[in-house]
Amino acid sequence: MNMDKSIIITGKKGSGKTTKMNELLSKFDKSETAVMYFLDVFCSDWRELRKKTSIIGIEEFTMVDHLDFLYGLCELYDFKFIMVTQMNLKEVDPKLLSHFEIIECNYQER
């Protein structure tokens, strides 16, 4: 599978966002992928991580500044991210969003 853009998966709690992220990550060789919570992003050695992986799943970013920061990492280290959020993307500058593919999850348990 080839990713042209990083992906943002949006939806409410319980909508299947993380399941969708894991489904997409499973299409890549495990040696190419990693998954981390957003707060781990600040503790990571990105140069070392880039030697090992190219696709990173990010659990739950919550602010526009987080997305801006992650986009900077995409550009600086040539990563692709598959990220999940409950955030309303209407709050985000459309120019920034144009760099991402958006997937909306609407699964609801019955």
pLDDT tens-digit profile of 52-96?
Answer: 888 999 998 899 998 999 999 888 888 899 999 999 999 899 999
* Residue 107 predicted with pLDDT over 80: no
The answer to whether residue 105 sits within a structural domain is: no
The answer to whether residue 4 sits within a structural domain is: no
How many residues are given for the chain? 110
d(CA 106, CA 11): 6
The per-residue pLDDT for 1 is 66
Q: What domain range includes position 50?
A: 16-86
Q: Which residues contact 30 (CB under 8 A, 6 or more apart)?
A: none
d(CA 10, CA 16): 9
The answer to whether residue 69 sits within a structural domain is: yes
Question: Whole-model pTM above 0.75?
Answer: yes
Domain count within the chain: 1
